[in-house]
């Protein structure tokens, strides 16, 4: 499978939190050839399932979120757009950024930046505050109010590109590259005998927390949930707690959000399959769909498998295709052979 | 002109490394004149002779040998030079780290606030790279106001380590922003691209070279404007013009909430006629002539609301025994940024005005 094709397709689409439905349709179409049933639910989650054929089978749920961080139009000033944030992004990446304003049809916007000579010297060393950022759409005030109404979502418009060594830069690798990994998992298990039904969820709303994933866990009545997400990879200016490296395999998070037997099984399978694992201590809130899926209904066994990512939530996130493939292989191994505890819980 | 501008903006010409831009312009210019040379600094000097056998107007003789001063060959027309710079701001590789990242420094004036998470093009091999900044999750909200200094910034090319990076990249390699050319706004009346400053001026000159001109004009595509108008200094000496028109992109800060003269220039208000900036007090007579030509021909025009910035005019004006200088510039938002914005109507009016200027010099109206 050309996983890059799926990553490019999904990541370059526009779907900030709350506006995921067009991306959900793309994702549903992409995974359909590998699944028995595919649907899109009330909250815009994609729900695809591969049945095992066993009556009253246990259920594994693999969830990757399809929403992305972005901006939303909150007002107009002299024809420029005022914007608020959807999800957490660093306002420092915005000045002079080219954006896609999601009118119909979508249009280009460029975040304004005042030239240095109209600023005081000290202004240059300080970031522009998010509330002071304006977006240029080449309209007068009257045109802007009419053509780009308040509430219009806005996203980055990066086209993906390759770096050396199978590394790839795009917007929204968090977390649509993980959904591409799920398509790869679906391919890997397609003709295999499964011990349980496997659900592939493209969840909505993750960047604003407690989004669509818990609803999907509820409606599918899952026994084990694994969130597939992205984890911080070290870069020259990262904080010392970030130890994971790009290109060194999937990350396995360890902490209260994760069920011991799933963690142990994943670790054992990784060893069998010779997949390197990078363990990441997560003492509290995991910041992923797993945090919420864990406590759905009477509780769900849960885990997170991630691949490392540089420059998360920026227009230029960076992954290593090798890590994505290893992540997919580890999840496929677990789906095929989850161990006794998972099937008895 | 827009197609030419698009092609030029997508080429890279960091100051001191303008070859790619020059080769393209040279090939285009050679279709319209044989009189094309590159000087030792890399300036491209293109002489476009008057259409026909001599001047189209007033029966005046044109200079048969463009390298000679007009006076010596008895031509009463002033020797006219039109110039725009081929170089653009960018970066240069300054070091390679143990882990294979590249350190870099700006070439020309770049606001560090627009340097993060940018796609860049590194060196002759045109490697893809991205300028890094640790993720928002690793930066507490109160630190998201700090702008890192140049020496702590880095470029990620995906190299595994120093050895791999050093095999592909050399210290001193040029780094250009990667940015596409897009029309947008009402009636697609705006463009966004990198290097509109000053590939706009270059595009106008190419269009002028392609036209039948009423007099000989020496077009100079200069190098190294962004690091101190260095190419223009040498070119003005060798061309030895009587009069020079500089075509440029100039600062606009006509953004929301910016009042009055602080906008400097406004997109849509027409080409900017130079009367004074930080480097030059332009020839008053030429300024007034441009202003009158624009007004008579119903072209919009404006002047800068702030005495700031500079152009190649500063170097040309002081060349030899002095040169009369004028300038026409397109107002540009986010100038020196990867996503500069300009308005097509301003750029087209600038081209028209430059044509009118040549006609007025050729007819003797501007002396």
| H, E, C per residue of B98-131 | CCCCEEEEEECCCCHHHCCCCEEEECCCCEEEEE
Q: Is A340 helix (H, G, I), strand (E, B) or coil?
A: helix
Say how far apart CA B367 and CA B364 lie, in whole Å.
Answer: 6
pLDDT at residue A222 in the model: 96
pLDDT value of residue B49: 96
**What is the arithmetic mean of pLDDT over A90-109?**
96
Mutual angle of helices A321-336 and A3-11, in 10-degree steps: 100
Question: Which among B230, B283, B289, B266 is positioned nearest to B342, based on CA atoms?
Answer: B266
A224-232 and A59-65 strand pairing: parallel
For residue A173, give both structure tokens.
């690798």
Are B255 and A80 an interchain contact pair (Cβ–Cβ within 8 Å)? yes
**Residue among B120, B108, B4, B132 at smallest CA distance from B335:** B108
Whole-number Å distance between alpha carbons of A68 and A86:
8
Q: Residue B190 and residue A138: Cβ atoms within 8 Å?
A: yes
Give the separation between CA A44 and CA A23, rounded to whole angstroms.
9
Distance CA A134, CA A114 (A): 10
> Which residues of A participate in catalysis according to the annotation?
206
Give the pLDDT band (50/70/90) at residue A121.
confident
Task: Average the pLDDT over B291-307 and give the result.
Answer: 96
Q: What digits encode the pLDDT tens for the residues A193-248? A: 999 999 999 999 999 877 899 999 999 999 999 999 999 999 999 999 999 999 99
Write the burial class of residue B348 (CB in 10 Å: 0-12 exposed, 13-18 middle, 19+ buried).
Answer: middle
Alpha helices in B75-195 (DSSP H): 162-168
Which residue in chain B is spatially nearest to A94 when comparing CA positions? B114
**Cα Rg of chain B (Å, integer):** 21
Mutate to test the interface with B, among A86, A121, A311, A319 (most CBs of B within 10 A): A311
Residue B180: band (very low, low, confident or very high) from pLDDT cuts 50, 70, 90: very high
- CATH 3.40.630.10 domain position(s) in chain B: 2-88+194-362
Q: Which two tokens stand for residue B102?
A: 């590249």
- Residue B57 pLDDT: 41
Q: How far apart are CA B191 and CA A301, in angstroms?
A: 53
Identify the H or E element spanning A220: helix A213-220
Nearest CA in chain A to B192: A110
**Residue A11: in which H helix or E strand, if any?**
helix A3-11
Residue A345 has pLDDT above 80, yes or no: no
Lowest mean pLDDT among A123-127, A213-217, B234-238: A123-127
How sure is the predictor about B143, in pLDDT bands with cuts at 50, 70 and 90? confident
Q: Which residue matches tokens 């899109």?
A: A40
pLDDT at B63 over 50: no
CA distance A22 to B53: 65
Q: How far apart are CA B164 and CA A76, in angstroms?
A: 49
User: Which of B97, B252, B256 minimises the CB distance to A77?
Assistant: B256
Chain B residues with beta carbon closer than 8 angstroms to that of A310: 132, 135, 156
Q: Where in chain B is the domain with CATH 2.40.30.40?
A: 90-177
Chain segment A288-339, per-residue pLDDT in tens: 999 999 999 999 999 999 999 999 999 999 999 999 999 999 999 999 999 9
**B272–A contact, CB cutoff 8 A:** no
What number does CATH give the domain A3-68+171-344? 3.40.630.10
Helices B19-29, B196-210: crossing angle, 10 deg rounding: 20
Residue A320's CB is within 10 A of a number of other CB atoms, namely 24
CA end-to-end distance (rounded Å), chain B: 29
pLDDT of residue B53: 52
What is the rounded distance in angstroms from the CA atom of residue B79 to the CA atom of residue A64?
68
Please tell me the distance from the alpha carbon of residue B179 to that of residue B334, in angstroms, as a whole number.
Answer: 13
pLDDT value, residue B174: 98
Question: Considering only the top CATH level, what class is B2-88+194-362?
Answer: alpha beta
Residue of B197, B211, B221 whose CA lies nearest to B39 = B221
Q: Tell me the three state secondary structure of residue A90.
A: coil
* B316 contacts B234 by C-beta, under 8 angstroms: no
> Which positions 201-240 of B are in contact with A (Cβ < 8 Å)?
none
- Is residue B225 part of the annotated active site? The answer reads yes
Instruction: Give the CATH number of domain B90-177; options: 2.40.30.40, 2.40.160.20, 2.40.50.140, 3.40.50.720.
Output: 2.40.30.40
CB contact under 8 A, A118 and B132: no
CATH 3.40.630.10 residue ranges in chain A?
3-68+171-344
Cβ of A314 and B337 within 8 Å? no
* Catalytic entry in B18, B20, B88, B225: B225
Cβ–Cβ under 8 Å, residues A141 and A66: no
Phi, psi of B129, rounded to the nearest 5 degrees? -150, 170
Q: Does B130 touch chain A (CB under 8 A)?
A: yes
Distance CA A338, CA B42 (A): 67
> Which range among A86-95, A122-131, A193-202, A280-289 shows the weakest confidence by mean pLDDT?
A122-131
Secondary structure of residue B245 in the 3-state scheme: strand
Q: Do A137 and B185 touch (CB under 8 A)?
A: yes
Closest residue in B to A90 (Cα) is B136
Q: Which residues of B touch A314 (CB under 8 A)?
A: 116-117, 133, 135-136
Residue A184 pLDDT exceeds 50: yes
Residue A19 near residue A151 (C-beta atoms within 8 A): no
In CATH, what is the architecture of A70-156? Beta Barrel (2.40)
């Amino acid at each position: 499978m050309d996983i890059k094709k799926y990553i490019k397709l999904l990541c370059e689409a526009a779907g900030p939190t709350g506006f995921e439905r067009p991306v959900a349709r793309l994702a549903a179409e992409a995974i359909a050839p590998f699944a028995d049933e595919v649907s899109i639910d009330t909250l815009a989650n994609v729900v695809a399932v591969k049945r095992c054929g066993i009556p009253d089978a246990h259920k594994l749920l693999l969830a990757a979120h399809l929403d992305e961080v972005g901006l939303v139009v909150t007002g107009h000033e002299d024809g420029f757009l005022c914007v608020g944030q959807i999800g957490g992004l660093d306002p420092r990446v915005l000045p002079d950024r080219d954006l896609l304003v999601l009118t119909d049809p979508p249009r280009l916007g460029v975040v304004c930046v005042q030239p240095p000579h109209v600023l005081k010297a000290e202004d240059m060393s300080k970031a522009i505050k998010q509330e002071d950022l304006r977006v240029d759409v080449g309209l007068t005030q009257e045109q802007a109010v009419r053509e780009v109404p308040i509430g219009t979502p806005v996203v980055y418009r990066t086209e993906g590109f390759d770096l050396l060594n199978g590394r790839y830069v795009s917007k929204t690798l968090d977390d649509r590259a993980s959904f591409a990994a799920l398509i790869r998992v679906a391919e890997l298990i397609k003709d295999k005998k499964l011990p349980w039904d496997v659900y592939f969820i493209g969840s909505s709303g993750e960047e604003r927390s407690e989004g669509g994933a818990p609803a999907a866990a509820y409606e599918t009545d899952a026994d084990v949930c694994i969130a597939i997400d992205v984890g911080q990879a070290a870069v020259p200016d990262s904080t010392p707690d970030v130890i994971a490296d790009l290109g060194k395999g999937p990350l396995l998070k360890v902490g209260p959000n994760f069920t011991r037997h799933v963690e142990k099984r994943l670790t054992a399978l990784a060893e069998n399959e010779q997949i390197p694992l990078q363990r990441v201590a997560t003492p509290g809130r995991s910041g992923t769909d797993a945090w919420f899926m864990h406590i759905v209904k009477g509780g769900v066994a849960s885990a997170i498998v991630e691949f490392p990512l540089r420059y998360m939530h920026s227009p230029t996130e960076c992954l290593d295709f090798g890590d994505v493939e290893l992540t997919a292989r580890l999840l496929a191994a677990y789906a095929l052979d989850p161990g006794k505890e998972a099937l008895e819980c | 002109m827009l197609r030419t501008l698009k092609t030029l903006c997508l080429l890279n010409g960091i100051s001191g490394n303008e070859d790619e831009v020059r080769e393209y312009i040279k090939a285009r210019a050679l279709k319209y004149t044989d009189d094309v040379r590159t000087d030792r600094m890399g300036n491209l000097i293109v002489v476009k002779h008057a259409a026909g056998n001599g001047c189209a107007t007033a029966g005046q003789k044109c200079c048969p040998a463009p390298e000679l001063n007009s006076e010596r060959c008895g031509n009463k027309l002033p020797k006219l030079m039109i110039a725009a710079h081929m170089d653009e701001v960018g970066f240069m590789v300054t070091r390679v780290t143990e882990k294979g990242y590249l350190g870099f420094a700006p070439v020309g004036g770049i606001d560090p606030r627009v340097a993060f998470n940018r796609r860049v093009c590194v060196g002759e091999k045109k490697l893809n790279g991205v300028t890094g900044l640790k993720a928002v999750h690793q930066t507490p909200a109160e630190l998201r106001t700090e702008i890192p200094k140049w020496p702590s910034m880095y470029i990620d090319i995906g190299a595994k380590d120093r050895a791999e990076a050093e095999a592909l990249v050399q210290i001193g390699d040029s780094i250009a922003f990667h940015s596409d050319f897009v029309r947008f706004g009402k009636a697609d009346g705006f463009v966004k691209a990198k290097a509109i400053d000053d590939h706009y001026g270059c595009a106008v000159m190419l269009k002028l070279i392609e036209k039948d001109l009423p007099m000989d004009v020496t077009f100079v595509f200069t190098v190294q404007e962004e690091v101190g108008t260095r190419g223009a200094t040498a070119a003005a000496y060798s061309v030895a013009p009587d009069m020079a028109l500089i075509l440029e992109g100039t600062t606009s800060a006509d953004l929301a909430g910016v009042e009055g003269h602080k906008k400097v220039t406004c997109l849509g208000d027409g080409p900017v006629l130079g009367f004074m900036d930080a480097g030059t007090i332009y020839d008053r007579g030429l300024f007034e002539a441009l202003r009158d030509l624009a007004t008579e021909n119903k072209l919009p025009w404006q002047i800068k609301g702030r005495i700031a910035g500079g152009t190649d005019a500063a170097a040309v004006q002081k060349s030899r025994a002095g040169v009369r200088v004028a300038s026409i510039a397109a107002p540009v938002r986010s100038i020196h940024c990867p996503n500069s914005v300009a308005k097509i109507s301003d750029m087209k009016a600038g081209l028209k005005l430059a044509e009118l200027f040549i006609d007025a010099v050729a007819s003797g109206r501007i002396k």
